[in-house]
Structure formats: structure tokens, C-alpha cells
Amino acid sequence: MKALILTVNENILNGLEPNEVGSVLSRLLFTKGVEIESEIVVSNSKDSLQSALNNLNADVNTIIVLGDFDTTKNLEIKKLISDYLGDSLEINAFSEETVKNYYKNSNLPLVTASLNEALIPKSANPIENTSSYHQGFATYANGKHIIFLPMELNAVKDIYNNWFIDYIEAKFSKLYLTKTFKTFGLSKIEALKLLDDLLKNKNLIKLLIYEHDLELVFVVKYSPLSPKEDVNAYIKNMCERLKNFIYAYDDSSLYKKAFELLKLQGNRIAIAESITGGNIVANLIKNNEGIGNYLVEGITCYSNNSKIARLNVQPHIIDKYSSVSAEVAYELAAGLLQTCEEADLVLATVGYASGAGEKNGLVYIAVGDLQGIHIYKNIFSGSRQKIIDLATNSALFYLIKKIKQNDINLEQMFDNR
């Protein structure tokens, strides 16, 4: 299965909004073994949409169209798709009932205009979405599967879990088996250099790599008929080369994997954040039910006075080395160990998220325990928010490395095919 994700949205096209829904859907399909030929954003006009649909690569067999959050614009997009199909729109009874049930179950008055979401091409089958009133559809024309989905993150996730996986397996019975793992801190170019000879194997094994900031998702695709020993040898060879960067042998996020390892080891952690401003703690709490058993304390010590008063950082250390330095990162981590006796592990961040000059993007991350504290120096680039996010994810990766102590059991992933 080779798919094209086509987003019809003026704001995303003009760089006013990120294409979060498209990125998440691409990653979800990627880990299922679906090859994403490209992700395209076009304007909500007949010429733009038809140009994109008429200039597809011949081997693309699935077109996924992401609509608009606005119901009126969504209707325009569906009309354009219907025209492309040589079809017409009509109210689908199932979709109409789903829209009405959404309002009923939400204890909200029905908005009549939202019933337009039940309009789909006559030849199409409805795709149920219960998380909102926006609805989808799927059809087949001109040798292509055409799938229309709402521009809503929760809706796309629900549809992926409740419809998309079954659809893929039903329509594409010759799917490959897949194995997914994830790395951090390695670029796609660097990975391709490390794996160069493995990309030319003769065992019907295919490698897909999806890049997002400092993370890479690797999907190894192989035929069910491929000899088990060949597949295992291939994956083991890859992992040996990438072992310093691997943090998960599945599609887990950094937040999930950090929590999983804390829980597995029975470790408790205290965190001091300056540049990340509570972002690490907030996301650990938001994404992991039960984190309270393993997160002892989170301190946002943004000012120098806070660092001195809360974690006993010595003023002369700040005066001599500045508040953004390896020495201050170390002092924060040491202060956590000193003041928070319940913690087995500590994590601290300092850095510059914005500003002029060569120091912009400079970040120090400290991670350790009573046996020792390690300081990592990083230099990131991008917007203020981008630097904060990169610092947050890097800190979690260093925490994962600390818990694992660089002792990754490669054999664990080979016997579960």
C-alpha cells in the first residue's frame, strides 16, 4: 500500500498553522507498514485540488484527503472530490444518524448546519466518527482508494483504531509484516550512512524511515514468507549499529517509554526545570496515568534566586559560570539529591530558548543519581517553542539512557514474531 496524504487547508498552506493531524496520521500509518509517498497541502480551490489528484505517481493506490474544521469549507472540499469522481453528494442516513447521536450523547442542541457533514458521494461508504459531528467517507475510483477524513486529531486517532486498520487489512491482504523501533538524536542522513549496505538486501526486506525533529521511526517490512533467521539477523544488525540512539522497540513516545522504565525499575524521580519551564513534568503527568507513584517532585526554578533558595545553588557558581552552564546544571541536580531524599533519579535543565548571538539554543541537561551526575551539552536551533520542545525531549532521552545504563537487550525483540 502506497498512500498520498492530501491536506486541503489555506492556513496550513500559508504556514499559519502546523499540520499536526497530517503528521500524526502519517506516523500511525507508517508504523502499520503503509508507505507514505508524499504529504501535500493545497488550497481550497477546484484547480489546486484537481491538479494534485491528476498528477499522482502511478504507484500511489490510496489518496487520503484531510478536510477542514469549518463545516462550510468541508462541504466545498467534498463537492470538489465528488466532481473529480463524476459523482454527486447525497445525505447518507448512517452518517446523519451519527451526527445526531453525537449531539444527543453530548447533551447539546443539534446545529442544523452540521448535518451537511452527512453529505457524501453516492458511491462512497461512510466512515463513522463519534468524537465529533465531522464525518468521513471512503470510495474507489480510477484504480485508487479515496478516503476523506476530518481535520481533527482525536477523530483521526479514533478512526485509525476503529476503522483504518481493518480497512487496510481487508483491502490489502498482501501486507508485509512489520517491526517498529525509534531513535533519538540521529538524523535520517546519518542513519542512511550507517545502514547503507543493509538497504540493498536480497531477502525481500524493506526499510522505511520517518523523521520528525530529532526522532526517527524505523519500520522494517518483510514478507510472511521471509525466513525468520534472515529477518532476525537483519534487525539485529541494524540495532547493533544504532544502539546508542534507540530508545524504544515499538511506537512508544519518549514520555511513555520514560514512565515505562521508571515503573519497571521501581525508580522515583525529582525534576528541576529552568529552560523547559515545567514542560517535562506537565507532559509526564498528562500522558501517563499512575505517574504519581514515580514522580516525587517537579520544580520550575527559572530565576537565579529560585535556584539559590530552592536547590542551594551557590551564588558564586552563578556569578563565575553564568546561570546557563554545566556547573549550574550540576548544582541543580545535586540540590535535588540533597533536598529530596525520596528520589532515586534526578533531572535538571538550563538554557537559552531565545535571544541574539551564539548562545541562543545552548542547553545543558543534567541526569544522575547518588552514584554520579552526567551533564549533556546541546545546541538547538529554531523558534523559542521549538528549542524548548527539543530540550524537553532530549532530557527524556537522556533519562531513558540513564535508566537503561546503555545496556539494551537486543534479543528481546526477535522471538515475538
Same structural domain for residues 73 and 133? yes
Same structural domain for residues 164 and 282? no
Q: What is the CATH number of the domain that holds 361?
A: 3.90.950.20
Instruction: Dig out the grid coordinates for 151 from the structure.
Output: 481535520
Same structural domain for residues 109 and 202? no
Domain annotation covers residue 76? yes
Radius of gyration of the chain (CA): 25
Percent of the chain clearing pLDDT 90 (strictly above): 53
The parent domain of residue 116 ranges over: 2-171
Q: What is the CATH number of the domain that holds 113?
A: 3.40.980.10
CA distance 346 to 333: 6
Same structural domain for residues 97 and 28? yes
Give the bridge partners for 208, in sequence order: 219
The mean per-residue pLDDT over the stretch 331-338 comes to 96
Mean pLDDT in the chain?
87
The mean per-residue pLDDT over the stretch 183-189 comes to 93
Of 277, 262, 212, 255, residue with least CA distance to 369:
262
Domain annotation covers residue 343? yes
pLDDT tens per residue across span 146-164: 999 988 888 888 888 888 8
Q: Which residue has the higher pLDDT, 58 or 176?
A: 58
Same structural domain for residues 246 and 306? no
Same structural domain for residues 136 and 85? yes
Number of domains in the chain: 3
Which residues 6+ apart lie within 8 Å of 259 measured at CB? 284, 287, 288, 290, 291, 294
Neighbour count for residue 170 (Cβ, 10 Å): 8
Q: What is the CATH number of the domain that holds 191?
A: 3.30.70.2860
Same structural domain for residues 95 and 124? yes
pLDDT surpasses 50 at 408: no
Q: Do the Cβ atoms of 296 and 342 come closer than 8 Å?
A: yes
Give residue 417's pLDDT band: very low, low, confident or very high (50, 70, 90).
very low
Is the backbone of residue 143 left (phi > 0), alpha (psi -120 to 50) or beta? left
Domain boundary among 171, 194, 215: 171
Domain annotation covers residue 415? no
Give residue 409's pLDDT band: very low, low, confident or very high (50, 70, 90).
very low
Question: Scanning the structure block, which residue is given the C-alpha cell 473529480?
Answer: 84
Q: What is the pLDDT of residue 172?
A: 60
Same structural domain for residues 203 and 283? no
Of 128, 105, 108, residue with least CA distance to 118:
128
The mean per-residue pLDDT over the stretch 265-274 comes to 95
Q: Do the Cβ atoms of 261 and 400 come closer than 8 Å?
A: yes
pLDDT surpasses 70 at 224: no
Same structural domain for residues 132 and 166? yes
Give residue 407's pLDDT band: very low, low, confident or very high (50, 70, 90).
very low
Domain boundary among 251, 281, 298: 251
Domain annotation covers residue 413? no
CA distance 313 to 366: 14
3-state SS, residue 113: helix
Give residue 366's pLDDT band: very low, low, confident or very high (50, 70, 90).
very high
pLDDT surpasses 60 at 260: yes
Same structural domain for residues 119 and 181? no
Same structural domain for residues 53 and 163? yes
Q: Do the Cβ atoms of 74 and 104 come closer than 8 Å?
A: no
HEC secondary structure over 79-92: HHHHHHHCCCEEEC
Domain annotation covers residue 68? yes
Same structural domain for residues 234 and 263? no
Give residue 197's pLDDT band: very low, low, confident or very high (50, 70, 90).
confident
Give residue 174's pLDDT band: very low, low, confident or very high (50, 70, 90).
low
pLDDT tens per residue across span 72-121: 888 989 998 998 888 899 999 999 999 999 999 999 999 999 999 999 99
